[in-house]
Structure 1
Amino acid sequence: MRKTFTRTILSISFLALMLTASNGYAQQNNTNDEGAQHLVKWNVAALLLKNYSFQYEQAIGRKTSLALGLRFMPKSSMPFSSVLKNAIDDDQTWNSIKDFKTGNFSITPEFRYYFGESVFQGFYVAPFLRYARYNADLPFHYEYQQNATTTVKDKMDFNGGVDTFTGGVMIGAQWSLGKSISLDLWIAGPNYGFASGNISGKKTLNSMEQDELRKALDEDFKDLPLVKTKYTVDGNGAKIDFDGPWAGLRSGLSIGYRF
């Protein structure tokens, strides 16, 4: 595992050096189209997480630009679910995860300052804001002892969403691959903010079923990182409210077209 990770880092570093050298050669030979003030980009790395991510960038100065990113993910199963299956040894947890479906949408405006000789070239720093909406369908499986000899397996189907508002700073680098093609590496963009939303499920519950569902929700949701949760259970179902801080990390690799 450690050897594979080391080889991956070395490969990425070598690629970055090659691209930096190519970028310097391109600048010396004036292969960049000086009249190009716009870039449209597709974050191809986001496909690994079933996301479709696009960005438009416009130059506003010799070393500065404004960009607007859009990302969406149609509601589907979790990415890398087959990997998770091998890592989870609890059937009850896996039953909830395998049928879990999620989707999202985000919009991200940002300002970029390039450290190279001109805009769209070299390393950059990019303060940004982000609004994102995450939707989910969560089948919550749980079980309890009805009496000394009977174990009841039950399920509550939750659905809903969470809205998040965050801000952060991204470090990246962009290179010219030709007259009109560019490569944009989002190295890291940590962001922090707040979130609010809820998921709910409708189901007729007697008093015993309500008590057991409360116990199961308390066990699984009370220690979630960052976000605070509050749940209510009654005879018609249950609702889980999410509120509090939110954190994320932007990264990616985009292919762009300049015009």
Structure 2
Amino acid sequence: MRKLLLCAVTALTFFCAKAQDVQNTIKINPLSALLRTGSVFYERKISDGMSAQLGVAYTGIKISDTKFTGLALTPELRFYLKKNAPAGLYAAPFLRYQNYTVSDGSDEGKYTSFGGGALMGYQWVYGSGFTLDLFFGPSYNNGKYKATSGANEPDIKGGIEGFGLRTGVAIGFGF
């Protein structure tokens, strides 16, 4: 029983200790897989209170009868409120570029958008290197559709165009 307790305390200490010398993190958003999207984030510490992050996502999502396939890039600048980047509470303005092939059966085309928003989040970086990042905030995207076949423009609303909410959970590794 003592050995089990000692192992549990050691493991808890290992996972709860803050990493002090982390300069970079690589993360994925496992929730995006529910939307048939894969997203990867790379964050680099710039100073004690600031970091820069680049997110790359590839999707094959279908909303109603409209299918989107393509790439999104999301650069953001994070300001850590307690000056301990990349861990703690942060505020982050971000930009987003999206380039998708859009189809709804008989009509197909290219959709390109540009937008941005602001996030609030909290990131934990543990002594083991494990990183957990929770974030949310408003976003806006505006784009153009150019038909390649068919006569009608597919419905592009539904979180891809206009106002939306960017939220997520990212897990990864800090080094």
Do they fold alike, i.e. is TM over 0.5?
Answer: yes
CA 1:118 to 1:103, structure 2 compared with 1: closer, same or farther past 3 Å? same
Q: Structure 1 residue 159 and structure 2 residue 145: aligned?
A: no
Q: Is residue 196–residue 241 contact of structure 1 (8 Å, CA) maintained in 2?
A: no
Which residue does the alignment assign to 2:26? 40
Secondary structure of the corresponding residue to residue 20 of structure 2 = coil
User: 1:48: Cα distance to partner?
Assistant: 0.8
The structure 2 residue matched to 1:68, chosen from 47, 51, 54, is 54
Q: Structure 1 residue 132 and structure 2 residue 98: aligned?
A: yes
Q: Is residue 22–residue 86 contact of structure 2 (8 Å, CA) maintained in 1?
A: no
Question: Rg larger in 1 or in 2?
Answer: 1
CA 1:241 to 1:53, structure 2 compared with 1: closer, same or farther past 3 Å? closer
For structure 1, the residue ranges without an aligned partner over 5 or more in a row are 1-21, 80-95, 140-156, 203-237
Q: Structure 1 residue 192 and structure 2 residue 140: aligned?
A: yes
2 CA distance for matches of 1:241 and 1:175?
A: 41
User: 1:115: Cα distance to partner?
Assistant: 1.8
1 CA distance for matches of 2:165 and 2:71?
A: 15
Q: Structure 1 residue 111 and structure 2 residue 108: aligned?
A: no
Question: Is the helix fraction higher in 1 or 2?
Answer: 1
2 CA distance for matches of 1:124 and 1:179?
A: 22
Q: Structure 1 residue 168 and structure 2 residue 117: aligned?
A: yes
For structure 2, the residue ranges without an aligned partner over 5 or more in a row are 1-11
Where do 1:163-242 residues align within 5 Å?
163-186=112-135, 188-202=136-150, 238-240=151-153
Question: Is the strand fraction higher in 1 or 2?
Answer: 2
What is the root-mean-square deviation of aligned Cα atoms in Å? 2.7
Identity between Structure 1 and Structure 2 (%): 32
Which residue does the alignment assign to 2:168? 252
2 CA distance for matches of 1:33 and 1:178?
A: 4
User: 1:70: Cα distance to partner?
Assistant: 0.3
- Report the TM-score when normalising by structure 2: 0.78
- Report the TM-score when normalising by structure 1: 0.55
Which residue does the alignment assign to 1:149? none
2 CA distance for matches of 1:42 and 1:70?
A: 10
Which residue does the alignment assign to 2:6? none
1 CA distance for matches of 2:24 and 2:34?
A: 27
Q: Is residue 140–residue 164 contact of structure 2 (8 Å, CA) maintained in 1?
A: yes
CA 1:183 to 1:241, structure 2 compared with 1: closer, same or farther past 3 Å? closer
User: 1:129: Cα distance to partner?
Assistant: 0.8
